[in-house]
């Protein structure tokens, strides 16, 4: 059972465009993390959001955690070719565990 659905699955845009990736679930998460993964490498942590409604910014990337802690979004402003990669959201259900539930992934290609 896939608890976290990401949309879109694929995105190809031109450099300079804006984009938003969504991560949705029917489950409540105690925290949610966003990662970017490049081919043949492990995921690299971008941000962790913990509080419902929380907004975090990382240069041109803006992350938001839904008020009910069931969904999240990642907005990229003025995309660059270096933003190309697989974006993954991952949620923690809480409790005495570090287990993460990963989203289905969004493959972003930024064309020059």
Site stretch for another protein (CB under 8 A), options 18-26, 40-48, 57-65, 75-83: 40-48
- Tally of CA atoms within 13 A in the half-sphere of 90 that contains its CB: 19
Distance CA 51, CA 49 (A): 6
Q: Is 98 in the site for another protein (CB under 8 A)?
A: yes
**C-beta separation of 61 from 46 below 8 A:** yes
Distance CA 81, CA 109 (A): 8
Tokens encoding 88: 């993954």
Bridge partners, 35 (sequence order): 45, 88
Interface residue with another protein among 15, 17, 41, 67 (CB under 8 A) is 41
**C-beta separation of 58 from 76 below 8 A:** no
Q: Is 30 in the site for another protein (CB under 8 A)?
A: yes
Residue nearer to another protein on the CB measure, 19 or 86: 86
Q: How far is the CB of 62 from another protein (least distance, A)?
A: 19
Q: How far is the CB of 37 from another protein (least distance, A)?
A: 8
Q: How far is the CB of 29 from another protein (least distance, A)?
A: 10
By CB under 8 A, name the binding residues for another protein: 2, 30-31, 33, 35, 40-45, 48, 88, 90, 92, 94-105
């Amino acid at each position: 059972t896939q608890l976290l659905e990401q949309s879109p699955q694929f995105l190809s845009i031109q450099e300079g465009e804006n984009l938003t990736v969504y991560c949705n679930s029917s489950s409540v998460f105690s925290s949610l993390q966003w990662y970017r993964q490049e081919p043949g490498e492990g995921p690299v942590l971008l941000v962790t959001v913990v509080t419902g409604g929380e907004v975090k910014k990382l240069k041109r990337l803006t992350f938001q955690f839904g008020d009910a802690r069931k969904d999240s979004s990642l907005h990229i402003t003025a995309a660059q070719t270096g933003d190309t990669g697989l974006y993954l959201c991952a949620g923690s259900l809480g409790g005495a565990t570090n287990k993460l539930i990963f989203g289905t992934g969004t493959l972003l290609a930024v064309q020059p």
